[in-house]
Amino acid sequence: MEFLYHLLLVLHLLGWAIVLGGVLVNLRSAKIPKGVLHGILTALLTGILMVGLASASDDLRDPDNAKVAVKLVIALVVTALVVYGVRKPRKVTTGYLGAIAGLTAVNVAVAVFWR
């Protein structure tokens, strides 16, 4: 169970890294590469699976529901921005990409500092 949880955590971190990296390298061209959509969906899914696994298992620490709720809301806003930006590329500006990167960074801070 613990191995699966850690595997999901690795995929979770890689997913967010793809989102952040993909958005930052395209700040100037103001485009959202398709990979960013895959990264965000991977991270969202693995995050939800980890919460389910931690709640169900006796070996793993129960998730902090308030922290998860905050992270989920921010992650859903980021996901909505990515999906909309991929569908309507003309609406994407450097500021739009900055919002995606900024909210992702906020969620990293929430993940690390909220203990």
Task: Write out the residues near ligand HEM by the rule CB under 6 A.
Answer: 9, 12-13, 16, 43-44, 47-48, 50-51, 63, 68, 71-72, 74-75, 78, 104, 107-108, 111-112
Q: Which residue number, 69 or 90, has a Cβ lying nearer to ligand HEM?
A: 69
Q: Which residue number, 51 or 92, has a Cβ lying nearer to ligand HEM?
A: 51
Asked if 42 contacts 1 with a C-beta cutoff of 8 angstroms, the reply is no
> CA-based angle 37:40:41, to the nearest 5?
85
Q: Which residue number, 61 or 90, has a Cβ lying nearer to ligand HEM?
A: 61
Q: Which residue number, 78 or 92, has a Cβ lying nearer to ligand HEM?
A: 78
Of 97, 48, 98, which is closest to residue 71 (Cα–Cα)?
48
Of 83, 75, 77, 82, which is closest to residue 46 (Cα–Cα)?
75
Q: Which residue is nearest to ligand HEM (CB)?
A: 47
Residue 88 CB partners (closer than 8 Å, separation 6+): none
Minimal distance in Å, beta carbon 85 to ligand HEM? 15
End-to-end CA distance of the chain: 22
Minimal distance in Å, beta carbon 18 to ligand HEM? 11
